[in-house]
Amino acid sequence: MAGKLMHAVQYFGYGGGPSGLKYVEVPVPIPKKDELLLKLEAASINPFDWRIQKGVLRPFLPRKFPHIPGTDVAGEVVEVGSGVKSFKAGDKVVATIYHSEVSATYLGMWNAGLILVIYISHSIPDSSVIHVLHFEGKTILVLDIMCMVSSMMLENSCSKSRCAEFLDGGGLAEFAVTKERLTVSRPAEVSAAEAAGLPIAGLTAHQVLTQDAGINLDGSGPQKNILITAASGGVGHYAVQLAKLGNTHVTATCGARNIDFVKSLGADEVLDYKTPDGAALKSPSGKKYDAVIHCARDIPWSTFEPNLSANGKVFDLTPGPGAMMTFAVKKLTFSKKQLLPVLLIAKGENLDYLVKLVKEGKLKTVIDSKHSLSKAEDASAKSIDGHATGKIIVEP
C-alpha cells in the first residue's frame, strides 16, 4: 500500500472543535515491525479524542500536526510488520491505537505509591482533565493544574525523561496502523461497529470493576453494592452490564429518557440525575455503596460520602482539581472511604475477553449513532455535546 492515498479526518492545530476536523487525502500509513495495517470498517469516538484536540495533553499530544484523531478501530488486516506473529492479511480484528515513540519530561517525583510530578503546563484550556501516560510499564496520572503539582501512581521508580506510551490517534481514516499487542481477533458474530465501541470504554469499565473495585466477573466473591454514574454513556453502559455479570447490586444514574434503557442493561435501581434524590445519589432501597464507578463529572465528595459503606471507594474517571485534593487528603489521612482517580492501562487480553463476551451475547455495545467518515465532525459534535446513549461510531 506504500505510496497510496486514503481518506482521513485531520485537524491542523489545537482547538477548532468539530469544524476544525477536515476530510482530506493523505498517504496510507506504513506498519513498523510490530504493527499491522488495517483497512478500517468502523471507529468509535471517545471524549479523549476531542479533549486532545482542545489541547489538554499538550505538549505530549498530538505528537505533531496535522493529526488524525481516533483510537478505537475495527477492520481487516491488509499488511503485517515483519515481527508480527499472531495475525495475517484477511484477519478481522479490533484494536486501540497507542504509540510509544514520544519522549516526555517531568520534573520531580516522590515514589512511595503516590508520586508527585510537577508538570509545567502552558495555557491548558480544560483544567479538569486527567492524563494517562504509560511510562515503560509504569502508570502515570497527570492532572493539569497550571504550573502546579500533579499526581502519579505507579509501582516502581522511573527516571526523569523517558520514552512514553500514549493513547494516540489515526482511527478516523480508511486505514490505520495498530500494535500487535493491542490488536485482537474479531469473530464473525461481532460486527465491526460493536467491536469498535469496546476498546477504551469497555476496557475502562472492565478495569475499574475488576482491578479497582475487586469484582469477579464470574459472579464469585461477596455481593457488593455498586453505584454507576452516567450509566447511559459509553463507559457506563458497559459498566452496568459487566457489574451484573459480577453479581453486584447496581444503582445507576442517568437522565429521565434513559431510565428504561439502563434498567434493560440490568441495573437494579436507576436514579434520574436531575431529581433531588438522583442528585444526592441516594439509593431508593437504602444501599450504601462499596464502590462508585464515577463516569459523570463534577460531583463533590460531600455528595458521595454519606452514601458510601464504611470502606466505600469512589473511582473517578475524570477527576478535576477538587477530586485530586480529596484523593490526596483521604490517602494522607488513611481514610477508609476514599476517592481514587482511574487511569486506563489498555491490555490486549482484556479486550479479547470483552470481544468474547459480546460473541457469547453476555455484553452488548449499544450504538448511539453512526456517521460516515466524511461527516466525522457530526460524530465529534455529538460526543462534545455529552448526551450520547452508548457509543458513537464512524464508518469509512
Give me the residues that bind ligand NAP (CB under 6 A), please: 46-48, 130, 132, 200-201, 204, 229-230, 232-236, 253-255, 258, 273, 295-297, 317-318, 342-344, 383, 386-389
Closest CA to 391 of 50, 131, 42, 77: 42
Q: Count other Cβ atoms within 10 Å, centred on residue 329.
A: 13
Length of the chain: 396
Minimum distance, C-beta of residue 392 to ligand NAP, in the bound complex (Å): 8
CA atoms within 13 A on the CB side of 145: 16
How many CA atoms within 13 Å lie on the side-chain side of 94? 32
Grid cell, residue 155, equals 509501582
When the beta carbons of 23 and 98 are compared against ligand NAP, the nearer one is: 98
DSSP assigned state of 25: E
CB of 43 to ligand NAP, least distance (A): 14
Which residues have CB under 8 Å from 302's CB, separation 6+?
none
Q: Which is nearer to ligand NAP, 31 or 199 (CB)?
A: 199
Among 367, 358, 223, 238, smallest CA distance to 295 is for: 238
CB-nearer residue toward ligand NAP: 6 or 208: 208
> Cβ closer to ligand NAP: 229 or 338?
229
* Least distance CB 167 / ligand NAP (angstroms): 9
- The three cell numbers of residue 92 are 478481522
CB of 200 vs ligand NAP, minimal distance in Å: 5
Q: What is the closest distance, in whole angstroms, from the C-beta atom of residue 208 to ligand NAP in the complex?
A: 8
Angle between helices 199-207 and 348-359 (to 10 degrees): 100
One-letter amino acid identity for 372? S
- Least distance (Å) between residue 308 CB and ligand NAP: 18
Local structure of residue 64 (DSSP, 8 states): S
Q: Whose Cβ is closer to ligand NAP: residue 28's or residue 388's?
A: 388
> Between residues 284 and 386, which has the closer beta carbon with respect to ligand NAP?
386
CB nearer to ligand NAP: give 167 or 177: 167
Please state the closest distance from residue 380 (CB atom) to ligand NAP, in A: 11
For residue 157, give Cα distances in angstroms to 105, 153, 214.
15, 10, 25
C-alpha cell at 12: 491542523
Sign, CA torsion 53/59/65/68: negative
Q: Quick check: 55 and 15 in contact, CB under 8 A?
A: yes
Residue 330: all three cell numbers together = 483521604
Q: How far is the CB of 31 from ligand NAP (least distance, A)?
A: 26
Q: Give the CA angle between residues 101, 103, 109 to the nearest 5°.
A: 135
- Is 32 or 58 the residue whose CB approaches ligand NAP more closely? 58
- Please, what is the minimum distance in Å from the beta carbon of residue 201 to ligand NAP? 5
What is the C-alpha to C-alpha distance for residues 210 and 233, in angstroms, rounded to an integer?
A: 19
Q: Residues 188, 75, 394, 143: is their CA dihedral positive or negative?
A: positive
Q: Which is nearer to ligand NAP, 31 or 47 (CB)?
A: 47
The residue type found at 280 is A
Q: Supply φ then ψ for residue 7, to 5 degrees.
A: -85, 145
What is the rounded CA–CA span in Å between residue 278 and residue 270?
9
CB of 253 to ligand NAP, least distance (A): 4
Please say which residue, 176 or 317, places its beta carbon nearer to ligand NAP: 317
Closer Cβ to ligand NAP, 7 or 297, answer by number: 297
By Cβ distance, which residue is nearest to ligand NAP?
A: 255
Cis peptide before 66 (omega within 30 of 0): yes
The CB-of-204 to ligand NAP minimum distance in angstroms stands at: 4
